[in-house]
Every structure is written in structure tokens, then in C-alpha cells.
Amino acid sequence: MLKSLDDLGYAVEWRVINSADYGMPQKRHRVYFLGYHKTSSIYKKISKQKHEEWILDKGVLADAFKISGSTSTSFEINDDLDKISKKFNKGEKSSPFLNSGVMINGKVTTMKTTAVYNGKVKTLGGILRKGEVEEEFYIDSEELENWAYLKGSKKIERTNAEGYKYFYSEGSMGFPDDITKPSRTIITGEGGPSPSRFKHVIKTKNKHRRLTPLELERLNMFPDNHTKLDGITNTKRAFFMGNALVVGVVSKISESLSKFMD
């Protein structure tokens, strides 16, 4: 990806951002890329700036989301795309890319960084609808045992196609979900009534229920009922949110980018 953008004349900065690290109501790690064409003023700024300073303090992402960092590492990406696809980092035990970085003219500088945030923290409980919700989202008491099993720890013996036996293990997950903290990551299979290890379940009074599409929208910081459209089922609305980014992260980046462009 970096080489392709470099060939097209772009400088790139990136960061792995967990939205919950900056007070947002969902734990969602995503890689955010920003590309600056060589004709832009930001490209010229990067070319004159020490890369470590751009990553930690001077860059667009650093302006949007404060971080601290340690020692950086640098390397060149000079081969053509075919060679890179087949040979880059082959035989190495770990990737040379850390969670933050900059690339310009084929030179990569990358650094392990940590979020710096001291503001308010939004929680799963803070986005929940008030009062009763539609009956379809409540879990029948007879089904709770299946939900608890899927979310619990287990060690299951399995046999592969060649007859080799092995054990498949899973650790336990919180059940019901803790509403005093940011939620777990929404996935595309969040919708539908069938028991699942990964769907969110909360307890309200003496009942357990799944999250509604509106609540999933709020965890991604969309406007209420953003996906409530003609012909779109609740299951499909949940799928949309499993595929989405957290709007609060995109908004902060765009505000920072706008300042640099001005």
C-alpha cells in the first residue's frame, strides 16, 4: 500500500487508533492512513520536518490525537511492487511496521506510540436506550444457557481431515457485558437472535437482551437511526455498524486536516 501511494506521488502518515483510548464509547482498533500529494502544502511541510517530530507533535494525526512515543526505526522501500509483494520481510519473525509512522520518497519512519488522553470517557451504559425496547431483542430465559456456554471458556477435542486430533481452546468473555466501560468491538455478525460468542448482551432488571440498531449506531457515534431506511432489516443495520468506523475518530482527523489545509 505504501509503495503504491509513493509511486503515485504521495507522502503518507498512519496511526493505529483505538477509539476508546480517546474517550469514545467503543473499543475499536483501526489503521488510519492520510496521504498528501506532492503538489500539496502538507507534503512540503513533511519534507522539511524531522519525521519523529511529525509523528509525535507536528503532524495532522498528532494534532488530532495526542500521543507519547519511544525510539523510532527507519528503512527504505525501493523495490517494485511485485518484488515487495513476494519478498518484503520474508523470513522475519515480526513486522518492521509499528503502530505510527510516516513515509515520503520511499523512506519509512515508524514508532511505537501510546495514546495520551485525560478527558471524559463514554461507556456502553451511557448510550443505552431508556426504558423497555422491542421484544425481539430480549433473550428467552431458556436460551441463556446456550449464550453462557458460547461465551464461557472451553477446551474441545477436534479431528482434522487427515485424522489428526487436537484441542480447540477459548477463554471466557464477560457475560453479560460490562456497561460501566466502553463496549467491545462491534462485528458484522452482531444482528439476529441466534446465540453467539461475539454479540453484545446486557442485563436490564431481571432480563437479558441484545443491543438494538440505534444503540449500535451510538457506539459508532452515528446520528440516531442513521441506518433506519426503507427495506433495511435490523439484522442488516447491525451488519452496517459492524463494518463502520467510529465517526468521532474521523471527525477529529478531518478537523485537524482542515486546519493544516487552511
Alpha-helical (H) ranges within the chain are 2-7, 41-48, 51-53, 60-64, 81-87, 144-151, 213-219, 234-243, 247-261
Evaluate the CA torsion angle 143, 195, 177, 229 in order and state its sign. Answer: negative
Q: Where in the chain is the domain with CATH 3.90.120?
A: 125-247
pLDDT of 151: 95
Tell me the CA distances in angstroms from 46 to 78, 102, 115, 245, one per residue in order: 19, 9, 22, 27
| Across 247-256, average pLDDT | 98
Query: 184 CB contacts (<8 Å, ≥6 apart)?
Result: 26, 27, 177, 200
Asked if pLDDT for residue 70 goes beyond 90, the answer is no
**Are the beta carbons of 218 and 182 closer than 8 angstroms?**
no
Which pLDDT tens digit goes with each residue over 22-41? Answer: 999 999 999 999 999 999 99
DSSP label of 56: I
pLDDT in tens, 186-229: 999 999 999 999 999 999 988 999 999 999 999 999 999 999 99
pTM of the model: 0.91
pLDDT of residue 131: 87
In order of 45, 52, 90, the CA distances from 48 in angstroms are: 5, 12, 32
Q: What kind of fold does domain 125-247 have according to CATH? A: DNA Methylase; Chain A, domain 2 (3.90.120)
